[in-house]
Amino acid sequence: MHQEHDSTGKPGRRRFLRLVTLGVGGIVLAACGATAPTAGDGTAATAAPAASGAAATAAPAASGAAGGGFDPAACYRPTAGVTKTVKVDAKAGPYVIALSNSYIGNVWRTQMIKMAKAFTELPDVKPSIKQFLVNSSGNDAAQQISQIENMIAAGAQAIIINAASPTALDPVVKKAQQAGIVVLAFDNIVETPGVVIVNEDQVEFGSKMAEWLVQKMGGKGNVLMVNGVAGTSVDADRSKGAKDVFAKNPGIKVIAEVNGEWDPGKAQQVTSTALSSYPDINGVWCQGGTDGVVRAFQQASKPLVPVAGEAENGFRKQLLQLKDQGLSGISIGQSPGMVAVCIRAAIDLLGGKELPLSISIPLPSATSDELKDGVNVFTNLPDNFFTPIQIAPCGVNLTVDQINAQQV
Parent domain of 321: 202-332
Collapsing DSSP to helix, strand or coil, 309 comes out as: strand
CA nearest neighbour of 77 among 349, 360, 347: 360
Q: Check: pTM over 0.85? Answer yes or no.
A: no
Q: Do residues 51 and 180 both lie within one domain?
A: yes
Same domain flag for 121 and 184: yes
171 domain residue, yes or no: yes
Task: Check whether residue 22 and residue 169 sit in a common domain.
Answer: yes
Q: How many whole angstroms separate alpha carbon 82 and alpha carbon 359? A: 9
Closest CA to 245 of 217, 266, 277: 217
Q: Which amino acid is at 333?
A: G
Query: Do 57 and 166 reside in the same domain of the chain?
Result: yes
CATH number of the structural domain spanning residue 124: 3.40.50.2300
Q: Which of 310, 303, 309 is nearest to 325 (CA)?
A: 303
Q: Is residue 92 part of a domain?
A: yes
d(CA 46, CA 56): 20
Q: What is the pLDDT along the chain (408 residues), one digit of tens a residue?
A: 443 333 333 344 334 443 444 333 333 333 333 233 334 333 333 333 333 333 333 344 455 433 458 999 999 999 988 999 999 999 999 999 999 999 887 788 899 999 999 999 999 999 999 999 999 998 899 999 999 999 999 999 999 999 988 899 999 999 999 999 999 999 888 889 999 999 999 899 999 999 999 999 999 999 999 999 887 777 888 999 999 999 999 999 999 999 998 889 999 999 999 999 998 999 999 999 999 999 999 999 999 999 999 999 999 999 999 999 999 999 999 899 999 999 999 999 999 999 999 999 989 899 999 999 988 999 999 998 899 998 989 999 899 999 999 998
Does residue 17 sit within a domain?
yes
Residue 136 CA neighbour count, 13 Å, CB half: 12
142 and 38 share a domain?
A: yes
